[in-house]
Chains A and B, each alone.
Chain A
Amino acid sequence: MSYLEYNTQRMPRGAAKMLHLNWALVVLLVAVACYGFVMLYSVAGGSAQPWMQPQMQRFGVGLLLMIAVAMIPIWFWRSMSGLAYCVTALLLLGVEFFGAVGMGAQRWLEIGPLRLQPSELAKITTIMALAAFYDWADMKKISRPAHVFAAAVIVLLPVLLVVRQPDLGTALLIAAAGGAVIFAAGVHWGYFAGVIGSAIGLVVTVVSSRGTEWQLLKDYQYRRIDAFLDPTLDPLGAGYHINQAMIALGSGGWSGRGFMEGTQSRLNFLPEKHTDFIFTTLAEEFGFIGAGSLLVLYLMILGFCLLTVLRSSNRFAALLAIGVTANFFLYFAVNTAMVMGLAPVVGVPLPLISYGGSAMMVLMVAFGLLQSAHVHRPRLPT
C-alpha cells in the first residue's frame, strides 16, 4: 500500500489538521513534562534557575516543533527518510573526526553556533530508514537473508559509529529500537533467537576479555558492570552512586519526604540529580505516589502510541510509530531500572523530565512523526 492509495479526499486539510492531532497524547506529554519542571525546581534548591526555566522554554519549542512535524503529511517524511539517514551517517562520521570531547567521549559536533549531538538524531533517522525500507520491500521476501542483512546494515552503521564515540548506552538503545521495528515488520523469529543467543555469547566474550590485550570495553564500563552486579561491593567507589540512588528512592516510602525535603538530593548524595538520576529525587520527595503515578503516565503514553500504530494501515506509518514507541519505552524503562538497581549505570536520561536540550528536541520530533501518522491515517469512506 502506497501513499497514492490514500483517499486524499478524506484527509483533513490546512488548519483542520490541528483538530485531528492526538490531543490526549499531547496532554499526557505536558503532564509528564510538568513533573520534570517541579523536580528541576526542587533539585535547584527551590529556584527556577538554572534548570527549570530553560527546560520550560525548550519544552515549549519542542511542542511547536512536534505540531509542525505533525502537520506535514507522513508520506513526505517517508520520502525524506533516506536523505535524513544519510545526513545522520555523515554527521556521525563528522563526530568521529571533528567532534568535541565532553565527559570522556566525543559526542558533539560544533557547526557554527549550533551544538549538535548526532547520536540523538540517529535515534529517529534509523527508525525512519528501517520503516521506509520495509515499506519499499516485498513483504514476502523480508525474512530472506539478503533482506535481513540489509536491515541489519541500516541499524548497525549508526550503532557502530555511536559505540566508537564511545556511548555504549545510546548505541544499545538505537539497536534495540531498530530491533523492535524489524520484529514488528514480521521478520522470522528465528533471526531474533539467533541475535539474542549471540548477544549472550558476546557478553561472555566481553567479560572474559577483561584485563587481556584485546579488552573490548573501557575500564570505566567494566567498573559500571561490576557496580551493577553488586553495588555493595564498593560503596565508596563504583557502586557509590547507585547505592545512594537506591537509598534515596527507598527512603521515599509511600508519600515521600515532602517537596524539597529529600535529604539525599538536597545534601548532594545523589549524582547527576538534574539529569540521569532525577527519578530518584522524585521518588524520594513524592514517594510511591509520585514515582508510581509517573510510571502510569508513561504507560498511558505507550498505550496511545500503540493505538496510533494499530490504526495506521500504512506500513511506513505503523512501523515508524512502533519505532518511536519502542524508543520512548526503552528510555524510561532503562533509566528507571538503572536507578532502581536493575540495570547498569549507562547515560540514559528520563524522557521529558531530565534536563537536556538535544534529547528533548529529538523526542518531540519523534512524537511529531507519530502525530503525523495519526493525523494522516486512512479513514473509512463515509
Chain B
Amino acid sequence: MITRRALGLGAIMSGVTGTLMWRLRDMQLDQADAFRLLAEENRINLRLLPPTRGLIHDRNGVLLASNEQNYRVVMTRDDAGDIDLVLARLQQLIGLEDDTLARARADMLRNRPFVPVTVAERLTWEDISRVAANAPALPGVTPEMGLSRLYPLQADMAHVVGYVGPVSDRDLAGEERPDPVLLIPRFQIGKTGVERAEESRLRGKAGSQRVEVNSVGRVMRELDRVEGEQGENMHLTIDARLQNYALERLEGQSAAAVVLDVNTGDILAAASAPSYDANLFVRGISSKDYNGLLENEYRPLVNKCVQGMYPPGSTFKMVTALAALEAAETDGRERVFCPGHMDVSGNRFHCWKRAGHGRVDLVSALAESCDVYFYEMSQRCGIDRINAMSERLGLGLRYDLPMTSVASGLNPSREWKKRSRDADWRIGDTVNVSIGQGYVLTTPMQLAVMTARLASNRAVLPRLLRDPLERSLPEAASLDLRPEWLEMVRRGMTRVVNDRRGTAYSSRVVDPTMAMAGKTGTSQVFRITQAERDSGIRRQEDLPWNRRNHALFVNYAPIDNPQVAVAVIVEHGGGGSTAAAPIGRDILLAALNEGRPPLAAYPTSQRNRISAEQSEMDDRLRDLRSFRVSRA
C-alpha cells in the first residue's frame, strides 16, 4: 500500500516539477524578448540635457551675460516617502529657511509624485557634499549641478540684455509644439530684452542622455549621451564702459540717455535710470523687492530709451526748420520778428522769452530757441510737410530692435487725428507741433536717431547686434537733404552750444577736436494756466516733481566730422539747458574718450566743479578690465 501510494505521490511531484519546467521554458525561451524589453524599459531613462545658453558680449568682448555653476538640491515625493521628515533632516543638514521648505513642500504636493522639485538652489560646495554624504538618510533627494544665468554687470545692462526666468504656462501657451527642453523643470528662458528677442538663437539645442536607473529612480550610470548644441553667442554694439558711465551719470534721476554711432547706427549706450539688478529675477525676486520696483515713481522696470514717450519740445525745431526749407517757404536768411508771442486764429501762443527775441533768422532762432519763428514757419509749410520731414528724420517709427516694448512714438498727421480723435486738424495743432508740443511724442532712441541723421545726412537706423567678424562697417543710405539746408541747421545747433546767447552755452566744449553741436528742449507736462501766467511764471523748483517740465538735450560731435550722437531726457528735470545739457555733454565726451570725459575739454571756469564731480563718480564707476574676456 505504502509503495503504491508513494509511487503515486512521486508521480504527482514529478508532474508538478515538469509543469514548473514548462512554465520556465515558456517564459525564458518563448517570451524572453518581451520580458527583456520590459527589463530595459525598467532600467533605462531618457533624459534631456539642457543646452548651455549662449553668452552675450559687448562690442569689446566684455561679458554681459554668462553662465555660472549652480549647485541645487532636487527632491522627488515618490521616492522620499515621508517628505516632512526628509525635509526636516535636510534643514538640519544645510540650514534652510522655513519658507523655502514650505514652498518646496507645496511644490511637491502640487506636482505629480514623480516630478523632481528644486528645494534649494545656489548652495555652496560644502552644503552639496554634505547632502551627498548623507544620501542614505535622505531618500528621494538628489544633489545636482546646473548652469544658471549670471549678469556680471548687474544693473548696468538690465534694460538692454534683459533677464531670464523659469518657463511659465504663458510661455508654453504661445507655442504650437513647444521645444521639449522647455518642460525641464526650472528651465530658464529669456523674459525681456535681448534675452527674450534672441531667445531662439541663445537657447541652443537640447542634448539627450540615456541613463540606467534603479528601482527608486536613482541614476546608477550613464549609458550614452548625445551632446546638445550650445546656444549662439551674441555680440552687442553696446560699449559696456560707456553704458556704465551713462547710467552712473544719470544716477538719482528718472532719466534716459542714448548714444549712437552717427554713421552706422550702432547703439553705443542705452541707459535708463534708475535700473535694477537683473540677477534678482534669475534667482526669483521676492515680492517685497518686486513691489518696491513696481511702486517706485521713477519706474525702474521701464526701459525709457525705447519705451518712454515724451514731447520732444524744442529738440523738434530742426524738423520744423527743415520742413520749411524743403517747402521753400523761407531761404533761412529771412528774418522774422518775435514780439514774445503770436496770435493764431484767436489764440495767443507765447514764446518762452516773454520779452521776445526781436528779429531772428533760422540760425539764431535755433540758437536761442525762439518759439515764434517756428510758429510762423509751421503755418507756412503746414503739418503734412512737417509730418513727412519728421518721418524722414526717423521719428514716429518703430525700430526693429531686439528690445522689449519698442514704442513708435507719435508723429501726428491729419489722418491720424481724424482716425483716432475723429476731429479735423486745426492750425493751432500745427503751431503746437512746430515746437515739439501738442500731439507729437518721441522716444529718446528716436531723438538720438534724428540727431545722428542730421549729423551724417544718412538714413541711419539703430542696431544693437553686430557680427563680430564684419570687416567694413555698413554705411546707411544717404538721406538726400540738401547740404545748404543741413549746413544752416547744423550752424544753428553749433551756436546753441558755442554762442554766448545759445541756450546751452554753459555746456560748451573748449577742445576743438571734440567741438559739439546740440539742441536743448524743455517740454511741458502740464499746461500753464492763465492764472499762473498772470501771477508770473512759477519757478520749476516750486512745483511738485511730477508737474515739472521734462528736460531734453540732443547733441553730436565732433562738428566737422560727426562720430557720435546723444539724446538725453531727464524726466521732470526742469529745463533742458540746465538739467539735460550738462549730462549730454559729459556722456558725449565719454563716448569720444573711451568712457571717461577728459577735464581739458571743459571751460576753465568749470574745471574745479567738474573735477570734483568726476572724482566723486570715479568711485562708483566699474573697472571693466576684470570683466574683459578674449573673443572666441
A299 within 8 A of B: yes
**In the complex, A253 Cα to B213 Cα: how many Å?**
22
A309 with B214: CB separation less than 8 A: no
Give chain B nearest CB distance to A259 CB in angstroms.
17
1/0 contact string of B1-29 vs chain A (CB within 8 Å)? 11101110110011011001101110111
A252 within 8 A of B: yes
Give chain A nearest CB distance to B412 CB in angstroms.
68
B1 with A247: CB separation less than 8 A: no
B13 with A268: CB separation less than 8 A: no
Q: Which residues of chain B from 17 to 74 have a CB within 8 Å of any chain A CB?
A: 17, 20-21, 23-25, 27-29, 31-32, 34-36, 38-40, 42-43
Give chain B nearest CB distance to A2 CB in angstroms.
16
Q: Which of A158-166, A200-208, A333-341 lines the interface with chain B?
A: A333-341
Assuming the A-B contacts A246-B35, A337-B20, are A283 and B28 also in contact, with contact meaning beta carbons closer than 8 angstroms in the complex?
yes
1/0 contact string of A285-315 vs chain B (CB within 8 Å)? 0011001100100110011001001100001
Interface residues on B, range: 35 or more
A184 with B29: CB separation less than 8 A: no
Which residues of the partner chain B approach A251 to less than 8 Å between Cβ atoms?
32, 35-36, 38-39
Assuming the A-B contacts A288-B28, A288-B29, A295-B21, are A309 and B36 also in contact, with contact meaning beta carbons closer than 8 angstroms in the complex?
no
Interface residues on A, range: 35 or more
B571 within 8 A of A: no
The 8 Å CB contact of A253, one of B16, B32, B214, is B32
Q: Indicate the member of B25, B31, B32 with the most A CB atoms within 10 Å.
A: B32
Q: Which of A50-58, A96-104, A318-326 lines the interface with chain B?
A: A318-326
B27 with A310: CB separation less than 8 A: no
B17 with A269: CB separation less than 8 A: no
Which residues of the partner chain B approach A306 to less than 8 Å between Cβ atoms?
6-7, 10
A247 with B28: CB separation less than 8 A: no
A229 within 8 A of B: no
Assuming the A-B contacts A253-B29, A253-B32, are A315 and B17 also in contact, with contact meaning beta carbons closer than 8 angstroms in the complex?
no
A249 with B43: CB separation less than 8 A: no
B261 within 8 A of A: no
Which residues of the partner chain B approach A295 to less than 8 Å between Cβ atoms?
17, 20-21, 24
Give chain A nearest CB distance to B135 CB in angstroms.
14
Residue of A nearest to B36 (CB): A251
**In the complex, A99 Cα to B229 Cα: how many Å?**
65
Q: Which residues of chain B from 211 to 227 have a CB within 8 Å of any chain A CB?
A: 212-216, 220
The 8 Å CB contact of B9, one of A180, A248, A333, is A180
Assuming the A-B contacts A315-B2, A319-B2, are A247 and B29 also in contact, with contact meaning beta carbons closer than 8 angstroms in the complex?
no
A264 within 8 A of B: yes
B9 with A183: CB separation less than 8 A: yes
The 8 Å CB contact of B6, one of A184, A244, A263, A329, is A184
Which residues of the partner chain B approach A186 to less than 8 Å between Cβ atoms?
1-2, 5
* Complex A-B: 15 CB contacts under 8 Å: A183-B5, A183-B9, A250-B27, A250-B38, A252-B28, A264-B43, A267-B213, A267-B220, A269-B215, A292-B21, A298-B17, A310-B3, A333-B13, A336-B20, A336-B24
Q: Which residues of A contact B (CB under 8 A)?
A: 139, 180, 183-186, 244, 246-254, 263-264, 267-269, 283, 287-288, 291-292, 295, 298-299, 302-303, 306, 309-310, 315, 318-319, 322, 325-326, 329, 333, 336-337, 340, 342
